Structure 1
């Protein structure tokens, strides 16, 4: 596999630049210049038919004259010559290639086929190919700057990969201004061979990398990405910006699940299930990067805030209240210790307000006291530039305490001009410093969530006992009938094959049959229209509930069938389903899934019936679900307290709902021919759950 040659890509012994130029401003010149200026210690071979020299390096006139074998070649010639150049490089052979050249699949049909040819060559010859249409790669540990970007990033412990070369240049320039260092900086481009999963695997094993950042627009193999990400995030934090997640242009869906399960939900579920942390903007991305790269993870949620001003302390406390962190009380011993040196009108409790005339020594003593408190898991230091504030001295005091503490310490120096030198001191000392309390709290909370993720036992996938052959027959029969949708009265056998709890249900073709069935089931009953063409029964008034006697059943049958025939002249009416009523007080929930093109089945859960459309209070996870996934989905929706029971109500049977979620997940994995499915409503009380209605849509290709 090409990933076996990633070592040659990141730490090559020699680099050839195909299309090197002596003319400043050309890409081929910039790449050679960056390699030289970065202090790359390996051999550099500029390649150009014209010969001569580039920056004092002798030019090799053709690829065949390069030393063999070769670790890395950087290709920056016009697109029509790229595939021939890579073929020639493969003959050396070459282990890794960076194709900076644009003009491939991003340009249309011709470029697409050109890229396919390039991919075939690389895969056949086991070449680790980065790009095409990329900025290049920078590995600061060995001085490898094989990019045409302006500026040399400083060395650090943060790795960054991006699908956008333009964003790479902007972030690189911003990082230079903020004095942020990188271990490696990778532009993926079109991802013809190497993608984000390959980068995650490399960065996991890279001793120079402590934190992994990424900008993503799409994932081609979502299943592999999640598998790799789950492994990597157990060892190193992965923080990603994901763009392009709107549902515009998505395939039209006929169910509630299909309408609500878009690309955004799939990526959010993928990140949640694989431990990836998501940043919504570049500033947050690097706020988090600094926090993770500089400080240890908190061992718990308890945060102590130390401030010289009440207002910012309250702002921080408010932000903490909106997070998973806790403003914990300090121990009695710490409060007593603070009382020995703080002014009597200071606040000895959390937040600790050491008031506006606090000098650096007061900060130092306070921080030493709270950092040693066993009830405290992290410390946030707030400073406003009062007239008495000793900004640089306080920064040094904070840095000293942080250096000797095994707990994470963060700072928030509010202001700009006066506090600037203090912020610089803190960042150089490895203490994250923010301009406002809210991003500081967000960073601490994110670190705490990552600590919980690392401590969480690995999820165990569940296997449901089912009759797969029986289920496949139901789908095959529908295919043979030319159906794209399997509606309730046809889908009963599918549910029975998976052992799902169903209310007693029979198909009646006449009103008298309906009465006879109702007598057998026992009143009250539900009557529903049965038609292969009618999936949304309520749209045609096709459901009657609470029917308590023969006359009500007979009248409902006649009314439902005649209304359906009048409103849907295209529909074949098979009759009506007669179904047992749910127990009084049962609540309605919905479970469904839609097949995502990148990640596979996306399972959803929420309140059922009409509430799903109105509230859109939905939780999503990708199949296959673990027991933990099913547990978390139920408790993630805002309406969870209604299921838990209010005003003396008994809680619903959560175990029964979890079983149905796990069964839906198994169904989605087992039968790839199903595009989407929905159980709505599922009627649940404290004694169990039943699937009262079902719809299944088959794939059309």
Structure 2
């Protein structure tokens, strides 16, 4: 995409001599940015623009074009685009609005635009975007106010208005950018495109992004994994609440995806996710000018006790640790500080600390082999020469081969000191928690980069047997497979289940129970009943023939009374699991953007009450599956407490891997749930299963109907 970011020639269609018009702003921005290539203003009236020859149409330009910026009314965009195709343009930015974000007509027009761009291999940015800026290359092909400073951080955003606000903030804060891109409606160029380009951009050290929805989830993850191994990618995803999702839909004309799926995608591809814009740029400061730490051990030096305690609290909430200093470090600190000063971690230099005391402490603590990174907290006092302290801290940091961060309390008289820190490449923060969060993110990213490669296994399974069950259900018009139907798929995937069989009468239930051995479980078997508890359809711990016979008739009679519409096939007679077994739930739901989203948590009623669930996207590696199990808050209950044996974690991992394969093998399965899976120290048994299925064509038709309904409501 060099023709987009470093074009040798640019045409602005809709350029204007009238100040305040978008076409005028784009053109003057290009001139003010110092663009060195050929500039061609195109205006149907042929008016003089900024002293350059104006062309009435694209066809009048007799030279090849790298980039064209279209700033004309929506209904004229398509004809202009076709002219540009004839002219052989390589990249196009459409800033014009009124496309899919406003309704069906705009959606169809945008689709046609995207199809033409794809067919003719044209990079299309937008429509409905602010444009882009390449600070180092002198390209400001946007209608933003002002030119951001050059820097090593790239930023792309789905929101143009947010871009305007951030440029204004960056100019006021002295923050620079390598690239600055407004994606708009993402008709062709999307987040994945940006990641691919910026991942290979030598002028970009850190990639930042703001997204409202991600349409090509798999493509996005593929690029994110590649880029995250080379440089940090920090992103903010909005539309995480129902209200936010509705706002995202009306704002961009896109349906916001599942937040759990997005979170899993970010986690699995190494993206650092933040919830606030403040954190987005706080982390960018850290990553752009400091090396990654080699461990979690943080040393803190402060001249004020309170901020030091705040930093310690923040550290306790993070993955970082505050170890005790080595005995040699303590021995060196002791004579240089007053007797009542703290020489442990954090080191309290006391309020009257001067530049020399900061220098001595940094020299000693910075050389301690136990410490991996250093946070210096400076709280201005009445007689402190703040600029001298800043110069001293910056000078000492240059001699320390570890990441050094600074927290400078107060704003009124600290601007010059902040500039000193920035010039020395030391990230400076207003409050201790901001600094610790940034350091924690760097440590977690270092772990992710250094992790071993993922291990993927494809277990043996009988695809034909599973296909036969699914095809039969679809043919009969069923959209759900309940336990006695789904059991055949579970078995086809090599998953262990408690021994069970279907009984169609009370006497048959007794015969099966005697064969299986008491105690047994009886469960209602009906393709029309998903949740057996709704009809009291599960009876446990039945220990005799009379109990089994009585349970069969009571279950079926009660179900018939509560659900007269339901077809009752009988009761499933099942072996009773070990009393020491613990219940977990394993399932997946197919996300529209990212595909199958797997879940794991405690089963039974716990999943509804505690909502203690971990998520990952398929395909699942062995390491991902193990992480899912360890991630839930209730992990210790599975590991064993107060003398109870730990469960068989390898068996749980195996069920997760096989569920992941099932999700990838059969896109007709929209969601599936094994609940409960009974886990003990020896095995994991799938005691109950249900699946929702649908024809793939039906799902596509349903999506089209939803889109049509949305447009009808707007009309």
TM-score, length of structure 2 as denominator length:
0.95
Q: 2:214·2:257 contact (CA, 8 Å) conserved in 1?
A: no
Which stretch has the larger CA shift, 58-67 or 416-425? 416-425
Aligned to 2:709: none
Q: 2:239·2:245 contact (CA, 8 Å) conserved in 1?
A: no
Aligned to 1:385: 380
Aligned to 1:305: 300
**SS of residue matched to 2:677:** strand
Deviation string 1:363-409 (CA, Å, 9 cap, x unpaired) is 01111211111111110011112224331111111111222322111
Give the alignment partner of residue 315 of structure 1, picking from 285, 291, 310: 310
Structure 1 residue ranges without an equivalent (≥5): 1-5, 252-260
Aligned to 1:254: none
Q: How does 1:604-619 map to 2 (within 5 A)?
A: 604-619=599-614
Aligned to 2:196: 201
**Whole-angstrom distance in 1 between the partners of 2:290 and 2:692:** 50
Q: 2:154·2:206 contact (CA, 8 Å) conserved in 1?
A: yes
**Whole-angstrom distance in 1 between the partners of 2:507 and 2:517:** 15
1:675 aligned to 2:670? yes
Give the alignment partner of residue 88 of structure 1, picking from 75, 83, 90: 83
**Whole-angstrom distance in 1 between the partners of 2:243 and 2:623:** 32
TM-score, length of structure 1 as denominator length:
0.96
**Distance 1:679-1:267 versus aligned 2 partners, 3 A rule:** same
**Moved >4 Å (runs of 4+):** 247-251
How many residues in Structure 1 have an aligned counterpart in Structure 2? 687
1:42 aligned to 2:37? yes
1:684 aligned to 2:679? yes
Q: 1:296·1:406 contact (CA, 8 Å) conserved in 2?
A: no
**Whole-angstrom distance in 1 between the partners of 2:88 and 2:664:** 42
**Whole-angstrom distance in 1 between the partners of 2:532 and 2:633:** 28
**SS of residue matched to 2:336:** coil
Q: How does 1:90-169 map to 2 (within 5 A)?
A: 90-169=85-164
Q: 1:561·1:573 contact (CA, 8 Å) conserved in 2?
A: yes
Q: How far is the alpha carbon of 1:461 from its aligned partner? A: 2.2
Q: How does 1:654-669 map to 2 (within 5 A)?
A: 654-669=649-664
Which stretch has the larger CA shift, 333-342 or 67-76? 333-342
Q: How far is the alpha carbon of 1:86 from its aligned partner? A: 1.0
Which stretch has the larger CA shift, 102-111 or 602-611? 102-111
Q: How far is the alpha carbon of 1:249 from its aligned partner? A: 11
Aligned to 2:209: 214
Aligned to 1:257: none
Q: How does 1:15-414 map to 2 (within 5 A)?
A: 15-247=10-242, 263-414=258-409
**SS of residue matched to 1:500:** coil
**SS of residue matched to 1:56:** coil
Deviation string 1:624-667 (CA, Å, 9 cap, x unpaired) is 10011100000100000100000011100000000000000000
Q: 2:311·2:436 contact (CA, 8 Å) conserved in 1?
A: yes
Q: How far is the alpha carbon of 1:247 from its aligned partner? A: 4.9
**Whole-angstrom distance in 2 between the partners of 1:485 and 1:652:** 31
**Whole-angstrom distance in 1 between the partners of 2:330 and 2:50:** 66
Structure 2 residue ranges without an equivalent (≥5): 247-255, 700-715
**Whole-angstrom distance in 2 between the partners of 1:249 and 1:135:** 22
**Whole-angstrom distance in 2 between the partners of 1:402 and 1:65:** 59
**Whole-angstrom distance in 1 between the partners of 2:355 and 2:564:** 83
**SS of residue matched to 1:326:** coil
Q: How far is the alpha carbon of 1:262 from its aligned partner? A: 7.4
**Whole-angstrom distance in 1 between the partners of 2:449 and 2:407:** 27
Which stretch has the larger CA shift, 417-426 or 142-151? 417-426
Q: How far is the alpha carbon of 1:192 from its aligned partner? A: 0.7
1:600 aligned to 2:595? yes
1:467 aligned to 2:462? yes
Q: How does 1:411-450 map to 2 (within 5 A)?
A: 411-450=406-445
Deviation string 1:591-641 (CA, Å, 9 cap, x unpaired) is 000000000000000000000000000000000100111000001000001
Aligned to 1:499: 494
**Whole-angstrom distance in 2 between the partners of 1:353 and 1:300:** 23
1:545 aligned to 2:540? yes
**Whole-angstrom distance in 2 between the partners of 1:262 and 1:337:** 56
Deviation string 1:310-364 (CA, Å, 9 cap, x unpaired) is 1111111011011000001111222222224222222111111111110011101
Aligned to 1:633: 628
**SS of residue matched to 2:184:** coil
**Whole-angstrom distance in 2 between the partners of 1:430 and 1:603:** 42
**Whole-angstrom distance in 1 between the partners of 2:89 and 2:202:** 25
Q: CA RMSD in A?
A: 1.4
Q: How far is the alpha carbon of 1:248 from its aligned partner? A: 6.8
**Distance 1:684-1:247 versus aligned 2 partners, 3 A rule:** farther
**SS of residue matched to 1:45:** strand
**Distance 1:101-1:285 versus aligned 2 partners, 3 A rule:** same
**SS of residue matched to 1:70:** coil
